[in-house]
Amino acid sequence: MNQTATQQGHPKGLYVLFATEMWERFNYYGMRAILVLFLVKAMAFNQDAASQVYGSYTGLVYLTPLFGGYIADRYWGNKRSIIAGALVMAIGEFILFFCGHYYDNAALAMPLFYTGLGCMIAGNGFFKPNISSMVGQLYKKGDSKIDAAYTIFYMGINTGGALGPIVCGFFGDTGNNGDFKWAFLAGGIAMLLSVITQVIFQKKYLVDADGASIGDAPKGAPTLFLKIPVMVGFLFLLSVVTIALVYIDINVVSYLFWLLIACILLIAFIIFSDASLDALEKKKVAVLFTVSFFVIFFWSAFEQAGASLTFFASENTQRDLGFYVVPASFFQSLNSIFVVTLAPLVAWVWIKLGKANREPSSPFKMAMGLMLLALGYLWIATGVKGVGAGIKVSMIWLIGMYMMHTFGELCLSPIGLSLFNKLAPVKFASLLMAVWFTANAFANKFAGVLSSLYPDGKTTYFVGYAIANLYDFFILFVIMAGAAATILFLLARKLKTMMD
């Protein structure tokens, strides 16, 4: 996080990408804020099933970018992919709006729900990787402002992430099941604003440092495929495939977990068996795989936000302020609010430590991130210890936990990502980025599995660990993240030597 560079001028294109991404994240996090509440309250899913849907949905949201990035590089270019993906996500939200309208007619609402979800997954796959890669393309290679540009872009992500749950929660999470549809509509409108921003400003402002257009389709790409209606049609086909994937995973056989492991193993095999890489490069790649492994434990506990922690906000948190009952969905904006407010503080600490020559290594910072996550869960576990079923605790527990989790995110997430940029051999840069996304996909899927353990009166077991109440549930995450943090602290020095 380079603070001085933010004072220098950035290209206007950065702010076009900022606004486009902000509206998209508004849509994603706004919809996610009410998703499990909608499923449980309106669609009569039990918490277990709603958690599974959440895991498969968010898992695939992180997997389709592999495909979207690949197609854009070879055929569509970033610009058109962003517009097509954004349009399909807007359509997805409008389909979910109808699903929300007909929620009490399961025969109609169910197919609409899965169709809408499929569009969100397919659209995101073409939006997210392409918009992220355009940020860097605005600058000359090696420009020192690129780091600051990504920091500003991250603020755009979190401005959307803060506003989405509040606006969608305000209109949709009212206690009346018929109102959830307004949250989907708000998400759809936000997505249209994202499309409009692109359509108006893309051509003029998305240019490189010399003023040449960036993110266009590669020369020689078949022109028929470059018409927006054809692209949207293609994404619909993809959404049908993803709907089938989610549906089969939830209702027929749970395969997604294994598929993701197989993907990572296959990529590891491809890279490690490549004779053109020398031992030093392979060591660096080994660091990236190790880091990805630990990151899984982070995100699978962190992403409880959209599932079990929202059940907790809804059922076990005292939200009545006397003059206003805070909707449970609002709590999902806390992470983003804390990112925007705390990121400068964390950046300042690293700079201060850097000046004193005491800045921790990247693996050590990531271990700190995991430890902060464990502490957040320890905090909330303290809040529910000995509290009887059905009693609501103060919202201070949830708020404090989200603050600690955000400090953890700020230690781990930007650092993990930049490690990939620094350590990946050029030849395998994209494939290793795919490992990072697949680790995220796996973590989100796993988050759904863990959320399904949310206590409902019966004792459940997770690899021998008994969960009878909320305290046991939260302690599971303390153990998981705490153990991962401890092992990573122990490995940090060794990983550091492998990186240099």
At its nearest, how many Å lie between ligand GLN and the CB of residue 242?
Answer: 19
57 sits near ligand GLN (criterion: CB under 6 A): no
User: Judged by CB, which is closer to ligand GLN: 292, or 316?
Assistant: 292
Task: Decide: is 441 part of the binding site for ligand GLN (CB under 6 A).
Answer: no
Ramachandran angles phi, psi of 317, nearest 5°: -115, 135
Total number of residues binding ligand GLN (CB under 6 A)?
6
If one asks whether residue 22 binds ligand GLN (CB under 6 A), the answer comes out as no
**How far is 84 from 90, CA to CA, in rounded Å?**
10
138 sits near ligand GLN (criterion: CB under 6 A) = no
- Provide the minimum distance between the beta carbon of 370 and ligand GLN in the complex, in angstroms, as a whole number: 14
Indicate whether 374 belongs to the interface with ligand GLN (CB under 6 A): no
Beta strands per DSSP E along 292-375: none
Question: Whole-number minimum distance, CB 206 to ligand GLN, in Å?
Answer: 20
194 is written with which tokens? Answer: 């994202």
Question: What's the length of the chain?
Answer: 500
Closest separation in Å from C-beta 268 to ligand GLN: 21
Q: Does residue 338 touch ligand GLN according to CB under 6 A? A: no
Rule CB under 6 A: say whether 157 interacts with ligand GLN.
yes
Q: Which is nearer to ligand GLN, 202 or 440 (CB)?
A: 440
HSE-up (13 A, CA, CB side) for residue 76: 26
- The answer to whether 413 touches 272, Cβ cutoff 8 Å, is no
Closest chain position to ligand GLN (CB): 157
CA dist 289 → 259, 262, 299, 397, 498 (Å): 17, 14, 16, 34, 12
* Closer by beta carbon to ligand GLN, 198 or else 440: 440
Q: Is 151 in the site for ligand GLN (CB under 6 A)?
A: no
Instruction: Tell me if 491 contacts ligand GLN by CB under 6 A.
Output: no
By CB under 6 A, residue 159 contacts ligand GLN? no
Where is 25: in which H helix or E strand? Answer: helix 12-37
Q: Is 23 in the site for ligand GLN (CB under 6 A)?
A: no
**Taking the complex as a whole, how short is the minimal distance between the CB of residue 203 and ligand GLN, in angstroms?**
26
Site string for ligand GLN, 248-287 (x = CB under 6 A): ----------------------------------------
Of 47, 440, 451, 452, the one binding ligand GLN by CB under 6 A: 440
Question: DSSP readout, 63-118?
Answer: HHHHHHHHHIIIIIHHHHHHHHHHHHHHHHHHHHHHHHHTTT-HHHHHHHHHHHHH
Q: What would the 3-class secondary structure string for 233-256 be?
A: HHHHHHHHHHHHHHHHHHHCCCCH
Nearest residue (CB) to ligand GLN, 40 versus 433: 433
Q: In the structure encoding, which two tokens stand for residue 328, read together?
A: 């449970």
Buried b / exposed e across 26-41, counting CB within 10 Å, b at 16+? bbbbbbbbbbbbbbbb
Q: Is the dihedral of CA 30, 400, 318, 322 positive or negative?
A: negative
Residue 172 near residue 179 (C-beta atoms within 8 A): yes
CA distances from 243 to 60, 120, 121, 180, 263 (A): 10, 10, 9, 21, 20
CA atoms within 13 A on the CB side of 475: 12
For ligand GLN, the closer CB: 34 or 99: 34
Closest CB to ligand GLN among residues 157, 424:
157
When the beta carbons of 114 and 299 are compared against ligand GLN, the nearer one is 299
Interaction between residue 478 and ligand GLN (CB under 6 A): no
Distance CA 263, CA 3 (A): 38
Q: Which residue, 95 or 162, is less far from ligand GLN as judged by CB?
A: 162
Q: Of the two residues 114 and 436, which places its CB atom closer to ligand GLN in the complex?
A: 436
Q: Does residue 299 interact with ligand GLN by CB under 6 A? A: yes
Residue ranges binding ligand GLN (CB under 6 A): 25, 157, 161, 299, 413, 440
